[in-house]
Every structure is written in structure tokens, then in C-alpha cells.
Structure 1
Amino acid sequence: MTPPHADTLAAPPAAIRATAPPTSSRTRRPRGSPHPAWGLLLPAVALLAVEVLVRTGTVPAHLLPPPSDIAATLLQLADNGLGWHILASSVRVALGFLAGAVLGIALGAAVGLNARVAALLDPTFQALRAVPSLAWVPLLLLWLGIDEAPKLAMIAIGAFFPVYLGTASGIAGVDRKLVEVGRLYGLRGITLARRVLLPAALPSLLTGLRSGLSLAWMFMVAAELIAASRGLGYLLSDGRETGRADIVLAAILLLALLGKLSDTLMRALEARLLAWRDDFGTGAA
């Protein structure tokens, strides 16, 4: 049945078009919100406290090197190929995350859109999601050897499950009224999924991507601890074997900074794609 006045409607209503408001109103920091520099306060206080505790002899320096010694270690490592270690780990995370995210979005969309596919696949994926990361290592080494393939596969496994879960739950949680309105205006199949379901599920999908990216860094460390000759995970293992706590803490610091940087980039993408939202988190200008 054709809806009344359908000939005057050139496009679906605004409720399902997710039109973004002017970006200038979304880029300003909400009134009364704390400055981003507040996030540096806790790390600065913690570093200063560690420096004082070690310098005063309260904490043994061989167990917890002061931040000044860690900075000196980073400078020393920078002259001995630290950049290649960072590049190796970053490339592994990027490739593994990309593979896991693409597969997670594809299978998550299939599960969210089709109840039969969900009944077939979801119980198995939920069971595999509970398997610890290190449990995959022996099997991947047996199947793929000790080159790059098992490392990338392990990182992809870590990224897959959060992205899959975010996509599937996001599509399944779309307001039924939006779907009915889309069908009322003639949207079916792939068009309905592209114009209504996927945009409505985008917040959950992006949350899954952020979680998957953080897990990709964690799984990368687990993979490099087992079999690697280059990377931040290798530096962690090398520092442990040589009794160099400063190298271990330097590698941990670099992992934290790289993880924060990648999450910041993902948050910027999220803010851009979800600029049309007006929720509590964005606040009012």
C-alpha cells in the first residue's frame, strides 16, 4: 500500500537519515567540562611520587627505576633501533586489527540481520570468546610456524570478538520503529541495512572497534612474548631475561602511549561519524 502523499517525499524522513548538524556546534567543548589537560595530572603526580620514593631510598631502584632513569633508557634504546621495534609492533597491530575488524563486521552484521545465522554461529563465537589469549599460542605455532602469520592471526582473534559483538548487538538493538518507517518508504534488503540498520548501529559498532583496537595491542604483546626478534613485546621479554626493569617499564610506557594515541584517533573518527548525536556525553554548548 502506497503511503499518503508519497509522491511528495523525495527521501526517507530525517529520523532515518542521520543528518549531521553544523560541525562548529559539535567541536566546541561543552560548557563546564574539564580541560583535556586534566588527564595529565594523575600520571604526572604518579611519576613524581615514584621519583621521590626511589631517590629517598624508600623503594629499591633495581625493582622500580625512577622515571628519570627510564627516560635515559629510552634515549639509549632510541640509538639502538627502538624505532624499528615500535614500527614492527605498530604494523602488526594495524594489519591484525584490520583483518579482525573486517571479519567481525561482516559476521556480526550477518548475525544481527538474520536470526538463523545467529542461531548457527553465535553460540560458537560466544564460547570461543572466553578462551584466554595465551591458549591460542600453541595451536597457532603448530599450524602457522613462528613467522609473522601466527602473530597476525592472534592479533586478529583479539580484535575480532569485540567488533563482532558490537556489530551484532548494535544491529539487533535498532529501534523497531525505525525499521518500520524505512519499510514504509520502500526500503528493503541491502538498502534497508545501509540506510537504516547500519547507521543506527554505528555507535555500538564504533565502541566495538575501540575495544577491539585495545585488545589488538594486548594480543600483540602476548604474541611477541612467545616468538619474536623485534617489537615491544620482544623488549619486554628481553628486559625480563636480563633483569633490566628499566627496559620493561620503558616498553610498558611506550605501549601505553601508542595505545592512547590509537584510541585518540579512533575517538576522533567516532566524533566525526557520530556528530549528529545530541546525547549526555556531548553535553550542551
Structure 2
Amino acid sequence: MVDVSVAGIATGEARRPNLKNLWSGLAPWALPLALLVVWEIAARTGLVTARLMPAPTTIAAAFWRSLLDGSLLFHTLASTRRAFIGLAIGGGLGFVAGVVTGLWKPAETLLDSTVQMVRNIPHLALIPLVILWFGIDETAKIFLVSIGVFFPIYINTFYGVRTIDPQIVEMASVYGLDRRALIRRIILPGALPSILVGLRYALGFMWLTLIVAETISSTNGIGYMTMNAREFLQTDVVLLGIIVYALLGKFADVVTRSIEKRVLVWHPAYQLKQGGRQ
């Protein structure tokens, strides 16, 4: 009898974390699903005009049609390619500039003031100038995305490098670490939480910029798909494009957070946060 009781307690304790994990996985989707239900009811009962705001089931039918004919996958891949090429270029430059200005005071003196002035210019306001520079081909779109992601990564990298505890740097120097090892083992790992925050902000700017950039005379991409659907009053396809952008943004954020879980396991603040969730 004692063995059975112990087994029952162990089973109950095993189920509770599973239920808790299940709820933590489903909770973020509870509000969107509730809004979809309300939206469907409002469209079917005539509370909203179906032509202007089609029901979710109508959008789902448009999704299925575009999936079957391959157009949705084609346009999504085109947009994703543009987005991540721009992220690689702008994010890479922002990261390098943030590290250099954070480590080297003369570089900060030369670059930071100029970067801060340019940062306050809305990059989407540069579209007419970008068209004059690059025309309406891929280069213009990738340039706009690169500008959009540069500044969040630059600022957060610069901040992360500058807020490293000087005592840790001094102790590493006492132990004989040269400058390269100091950057690789102390400064960059210490700045990593701030860099990842910058990456998450940059991903948001990336998709926001891409939505506008793809309206510049594109022949493919989700922006082109929605603009083309607007011409033919296909509101369901327009809303489908918006939802796809939202899902791509969510997916990019989930990937970033999974990277954060892997690379920040050692970080005390992250361990405390994880401990609070358990």
C-alpha cells in the first residue's frame, strides 16, 4: 500500500508540471483565438461588413487557395529572403560599429554623434531618395531593411559593451588575457544580453520596413501580393498578407528567444528569471 501511495504522489507531481507547461504554451494564444471567435461571429451576424472585414473562415479559404497554387509560398520566400539579407547586412554593420565605438573612445568621438543624428531621420522617409539612388529593384528594398535594423543593433551593442563591469575587465587583465581574448571571453559574452535585445527590436523594424519597401513596384513578395489584391478588392487576401507578416514576426521572435535560452544559460539574471517561472 505504501508503494502504491508513493507512486500515486509521484504521478500527481509529474502531471502538475506537464499541465503547467501546457498552459504556459497555450496562454499566449488565448487572446488571439478569442478575438478570432468574436471576429467570426461579428462577420457572420453582419455587425461588420463582410466585404471590408471578411470572416476568419473566408481568410482561411484564401490561405488554402494560395497555398495550393503555390503563390503564398513563393511570395513568402521572396519576402523572407529580402528581410534576412537586409538583416545580415544592416545587423552586421550595426554590431561591428557598436563594438568598435564601445571599445575605442576615438571611434565613439568620430562616429556616434553622426549615427545619432541620422538615427532620428525616419528611414521610411528616405524612400524617394532611395528610388533615385537605386531605382526600384531589389537593392532599394534591401537597403531600406538594412537601415531599419542597423540602429537598434548598434545602440544595444554599444550599450552592452560600455556597461561591462570595469573590475571584471581589470581582473581579466591581471590574469594575463590579451586584448583579443578579453574581447572574446569577457566583453562580448557580457554584452550579449543587450545585443539580443537589440536583435529583437531589429526584427520588428525589419518586417515593418519590408511591408513598406515591397510596395515600391515589386513583382513578388507579400507586399506585392497584398497590393495586387487591393487593386482587385480582394480584402481576404490583403488580410491574409497582414496575418502572414504577423506570423513571420512572431516566428522570428520565437527563434531569437530560443537562441537566448541557449546562449544565456550562464547569465545570473537569466537563471533567476528561469527560476521564477518554475
* Smaller-chain TM-score bracket: 0.7 to 0.9
- Determine the C-alpha separation between the residues in 2 that align with 1:180 and 1:238: 60
Please give the secondary structure, in 2, of the residue aligned with 1:275.
coil
* Structure 2 gap segments, 5+ residues each: 1-16
Instruction: State the Cα distance separating 1:227 from its structure 2 match.
Output: 2.3
Q: Which letter maps to 2:215?
A: L
Determine which of 271, 274, 281 is the counterpart of 2:273.
281
Name the TM-score, length of structure 2 as normaliser: 0.87
Please give the secondary structure, in 1, of the residue aligned with 2:176.
coil
Instruction: State the Cα distance separating 1:133 from its structure 2 match.
Output: 3.1
- Determine the C-alpha separation between the residues in 2 that align with 1:35 and 1:113: 40
Determine which of 227, 234, 241 is the counterpart of 1:237.
227
- Determine the C-alpha separation between the residues in 2 that align with 1:99 and 1:258: 19
* Structure 1 gap segments, 5+ residues each: 1-28
1:46 aligns with 2:46: no
Is the contact between residue 196 and residue 260 of structure 2 (CA under 8 Å) also seen in structure 1? yes
- Determine the C-alpha separation between the residues in 1 that align with 2:116 and 2:234: 40
Aligned-pair identity in percent equals 39
Alignment of 1:149-188 (within 5 A): 149-188=139-178
The Cα offsets for residues 34-74 of structure 1, whole Å up to 9 and x where unpaired, read as 51210110110000000001111111111111100000111
Determine which of 199, 215, 221 is the counterpart of 1:209.
199
Please give the secondary structure, in 2, of the residue aligned with 1:65.
coil
1:92 aligns with 2:72: no
Counterpart for residue 76 of structure 1? 65
Aligned residues: 257
Q: Which letter maps to 1:266?
A: T
Alignment of 1:242-257 (within 5 A): 242-257=232-247
The Cα offsets for residues 172-193 of structure 1, whole Å up to 9 and x where unpaired, read as 1111111111111122322211
Higher relative contact order (CA closer than 8 Å, sequence separation 6+): 1
The alpha-carbon distance between structure 1 residues 249 and 31, as it changes in their structure 2 partners (threshold 3 A), is closer
Instruction: State the Cα distance separating 1:31 from its structure 2 match.
Output: 11
Is the contact between residue 30 and residue 282 of structure 1 (CA under 8 Å) also seen in structure 2? no
Q: Which letter maps to 2:164?
A: V
- Which 4+ runs in 1 deviate beyond 4 A? 29-34
1:55 aligns with 2:83: no
RMSD: 1.9
Is the contact between residue 124 and residue 144 of structure 2 (CA under 8 Å) also seen in structure 1? no
Point out the structure with the larger helix share: 2
Q: Which letter maps to 2:159?
A: S
Is the contact between residue 239 and residue 248 of structure 1 (CA under 8 Å) also seen in structure 2? yes
